[in-house]
Amino acid sequence: MNLPSHPFPGMHRRQFLKGLGVAALAGLRPVWSASVPDKLPPLRILYYTDVHSRPDLAAPEALAKAAAAMKPIPADIVLCGGDVINTGLRAPASDCEPLFDIYDEFLKALGRPVEHALGNHDLAGISDPPNPAANPRELAMRRLGIVEPYRTVDVGDYRVMILDSVEVIPGPQIYRGYISPVQKAWIADVLARTPREQPIILLTHIPFRSTFLQAKESPMAALKNNLVVENANEVLDLFRDHRLPVVLQGHLHSDEHIDWAGRHFIQGGAICAGWWKGPNLQTDFGFGLLEIADNTIRWSYTPYGWTAKG
């Protein structure tokens, strides 16, 4: 992967759906609210992740319901944490196209621009014998309108940095959570061009911090490198002189908020919950809203009222 020719590929500003009122937020369930030491400008991010669109298990019907619940919620930007389709990985691109068609219908119903991170399931044909895909990201990038898999988007006073946290590796595991040296160099370049006082939001599919496996298995359980970004600490160290209040994460289908030394690592649950078969641990079918206002960071996760079918 080459460095993008423009220092901030895909950068643009969006201010939309303001002034719609707060009535649509009535179903929000507050999960965590915390003060921050340095005053941050206001921001509202509508965030969802792990859609896993598929034709069965009534997923298209559920996606229509999710879109209807999300559409009226006012936000400055809408972000998706990846895994918008259910197959990917071992499936050829031809098998993935119909799943992107289903996801397209969700986006049409949502009726709002969305910035996407790439998830592991969005990569097609990694191990499709006998012809593995030369570029497993190509299909998802084309269907989602992504110019670069990692890029920046400015919204209000914030810079959103969207990372590509899935690295394809040989062997049966297929991928790991990892930020490549080329991408780290890009991060350093972006930060060199970003004022230190400008707050940054990171979006990554595979998480940088999580207690998911400790909750699922044992307090002593250790996350493997296909569940968490292996070199997360190295990447976070690049931001040591910058304001990084929030890291938005996906992949583990859990609703989780970790406040670590003033940095908020937010696991965004899942539109599909437990792969459309019911809640995953205690996380229901849902989406979230990140609100930064009055020197407070607040994360709310909203179930959209779906019950597993089939």
Per-residue model confidence (pLDDT) at position 89: 83
The pLDDT of residue 222: 86
Is 2 part of any domain?
Answer: no
Q: Which residue has the higher pLDDT, 30 or 218?
A: 218
pLDDT in tens, 48-99: 999 999 999 999 999 999 999 999 999 999 999 999 999 888 888 889 999 9
Q: Is residue 157 in a domain?
A: yes
Domain assignment present for 201: yes
Sign, Cα dihedral of 74, 78, 80, 86: positive
Q: Could you give the CA distance from residue 156 to residue 203 in angstroms, rounded to a whole number?
A: 17
pLDDT value of residue 113: 98
Evaluate whether residue 13 is within a structural domain.
no
**How does pLDDT run across 228-287, given as a tens digit for each residue?**
999 999 999 999 999 999 999 999 999 999 999 889 999 999 999 999 999 998 999 999
Sign of CA dihedral 127, 131, 137, 141: negative
- Which residue has tokens 């030394």? 261
- Helix intervals (H) in 116-247: 138-144, 181-192, 212-216, 232-237
Is 242 a domain residue?
Answer: yes
With respect to residue 178, please indicate whether it lies within any of the assigned structural domains: yes
Average pLDDT over residues 185-196: 98
Tell which wins on pLDDT, 9 or 238. 238
CATH number of 225's domain: 3.60.21.10
Q: Within a domain: residue 291?
A: yes
Q: Which runs of consecutive H residues, i.e. helices, occur in the chain?
A: 59-70, 93-110, 138-144, 181-192, 212-216, 232-237
Does 10 reside within a domain? no
Judged on CB neighbours under 10 Å (0-12, 13-18, 19+), 78 is buried
pLDDT of the residue at 21? 35
* 61/254 Cα distance (integer angstroms): 22
- Give the model's pLDDT for residue 142: 97
pLDDT bin (cut points 50, 70, 90) of residue 19 is very low
**H-helix or E-strand containing 207?**
none
For 124-164, how does the pLDDT look when each residue is reduced to its tens digit (9 = 90+)?
988 765 667 889 999 999 999 999 999 999 999 999 999 99
How many angstroms separate the CA atoms of 84 and 218, rounded? 29
CA-based nearest residue to 121, from 90, 163, 146 = 90
Total of domains in the chain:
1
Q: How far is CA 24 from CA 14, 15, 111, in A?
A: 21, 18, 16
For 205-235, write each residue's pLDDT tens digit: 999 999 888 888 888 888 899 999 999 999 9
Q: Which domain holds residue 215?
A: 23-303
